[in-house]
Chains A and B, each alone.
Chain A
Amino acid sequence: MRELSLHVLDIARNSIEAGATALQISVVEEPATDTLELTVRDNGRGMDAAALQRATDPFFTTRETRKVGLGLSLLQATCERCGGALEIRSRPNEGTEVRGTLQLTHVDRPPLGDMGKVVQALACEADRTSLRYRHQTVGKRFEIDTHELRKELGGVPVTDPRVLCWLAEFVKNGIISTGSKA
């Protein structure tokens, strides 16, 4: 993946496939410890210990149509290549949390990229899965929640293309306003 935001989209798609009704994504930049932390948390069906153990194995998948599952293993490879690690916590019927850390200034670290378009793509499923996105830098924070947005919109769906186009730009600008270096 050329951008970290594409990894986030990929992992968050797993959450939606796992039947999550609530999805939380956070990106935290900590220059003091030189870390960039990406977290995707859901309330989907979760994994048992056996599945969790094999989750980052590219030749493990729970689907029956194919024999490979590359998303988590690709993110793990990216994190480890950039002086970080991937951590997954999960409980059956409760949900899953995927947390990737990378060295913020690592020379091989891909850029975060267009997170606005990622939030936009995920918000297409806002009727089924609400999304909260949080971006944090030193002393600054940007946050958006499709659940709040829905209230603000009255009867107009979050999935209206005009709303989704607004959302992509709003998130992009919101992240810029935090002084993001990611």
Chain B
Amino acid sequence: MKTREELRAIRERAKAALAVRDSEGGLRVVVAMGTCGIAAGAREIMGALLDELSSRGLSDVSVTQTGCRGLCDREPMVEVLIPGRPGVSYCRLTPQAMRRIVADHLVNGQVVNEYAIGAGTEA
């Protein structure tokens, strides 16, 4: 059961982390949330992404959304942006695939080729 007390505990932990956080960061994940993405399961992808970031303590990865990207048949899609590297779009995701992308790509810098499309085509 989630309570207000739990929220206050998160606040205290997060505040402590803010004080020690280094300033590299700049990592971003953009989840496509158009009608097509939502119908294909983007909400579950978002949920898995946030859960994985939360449990790994990766609170400085910014998560944003965009609309339909014109590849409706390949939804759910996300784009991973790491400063100084080409952006990578991932398609036909499952929650498990999203968790793997957090571990392999965001944490270890390895593109998950199995789900990637258009690597290097987007800045």
Chain A residues near B (Cβ < 8 Å): 1, 6, 9-10, 13, 16-17, 63, 65-66, 70-71, 74, 114, 117-118, 120-121, 124-125, 149, 152-156, 159-166, 168-170, 173
* A92 CB, nearest partner CB in chain B, Å: 21
* B101 CB, nearest partner CB in chain A, Å: 15
Find chain A residues with CB under 8 A from B33 CB: 9, 13, 121
Q: Please tell me which one of the listed residues A13, A124, A163 contacts residue B67 in the complex, with CB atoms under 8 A apart.
A: A13
* B41 CB, nearest partner CB in chain A, Å: 9
Known A13-B33, A161-B51; further 18 A-B contacts with Cβ < 8 A: A63-B67, A65-B70, A66-B68, A74-B35, A117-B43, A118-B43, A121-B31, A121-B33, A149-B7, A153-B7, A153-B11, A155-B15, A156-B14, A160-B14, A162-B10, A162-B14, A165-B51, A173-B1
A13 lies within 8 A of B65 (CB)? yes
Q: How large is the interface on B (under 10, 10 to 19, 20 to 34, 35 or more residues)?
A: 35 or more
For the complex, what is the distance from the CA of A25 to the CA of B51, rounded to whole Å? 24
Find chain B residues with CB under 8 A from A125 CB: 64-65
Find chain A residues with CB under 8 A from B63 CB: 124, 159, 161
Q: Is B54 at the interface (CB under 8 A from chain A)?
A: yes
| Nearest A-chain residue to B3, judged by Cβ | A170
| Nearest A-chain residue to B47, judged by Cβ | A117
SS class of chain B's interface: helix, strand, loop or mixed? helix
* B93 CB, nearest partner CB in chain A, Å: 15
Q: Please tell me which one of the listed residues A1, A162, A165, A169 contacts residue B38 in the complex, with CB atoms under 8 A apart.
A: A1
Instruction: Report, nearest first, the 5 A-B pairs whose CB atoms are least far apart.
Output: A161-B53, A161-B54, A169-B2, A156-B14, A170-B2
Q: Please tell me which one of the listed residues A10, A114, A124, A155 contacts residue B18 in the complex, with CB atoms under 8 A apart.
A: A155
A121 lies within 8 A of B70 (CB)? no
Find chain A residues with CB under 8 A from B46 CB: 117, 120-121, 124
Q: Please tell me which one of the listed residues A10, A65, A118, A159 contacts residue B35 in the complex, with CB atoms under 8 A apart.
A: A10
Q: Is B6 at the interface (CB under 8 A from chain A)?
A: yes
Contacts A153-B7, A156-B11 known; A161 to B50 CB distance under 8 Å? yes
* A100 CB, nearest partner CB in chain B, Å: 15
Q: Is B34 at the interface (CB under 8 A from chain A)?
A: yes
A114 lies within 8 A of B43 (CB)? yes
| Nearest B-chain residue to A128, judged by Cβ | B64
Q: Please tell me which one of the listed residues B1, B44, B58, B64 contacts residue A124 in the complex, with CB atoms under 8 A apart.
A: B64
For the complex, what is the distance from the CA of A1 to the CA of B61, rounded to whole Å? 29
B35 lies within 8 A of A166 (CB)? no
For the complex, what is the distance from the CA of A142 to the CA of B54, rounded to whole Å? 25
Find chain B residues with CB under 8 A from A118 CB: 43
* A29 CB, nearest partner CB in chain B, Å: 22
* B43 CB, nearest partner CB in chain A, Å: 5
Q: List 30 A-B contacts (CB under 8 A).
A: A10-B38, A13-B34, A13-B38, A13-B67, A16-B65, A65-B70, A66-B68, A117-B44, A118-B43, A121-B31, A149-B7, A152-B7, A152-B11, A153-B7, A156-B11, A156-B15, A160-B14, A161-B50, A161-B53, A161-B54, A161-B59, A162-B14, A162-B59, A163-B14, A164-B50, A166-B2, A166-B6, A166-B10, A168-B47, A170-B3
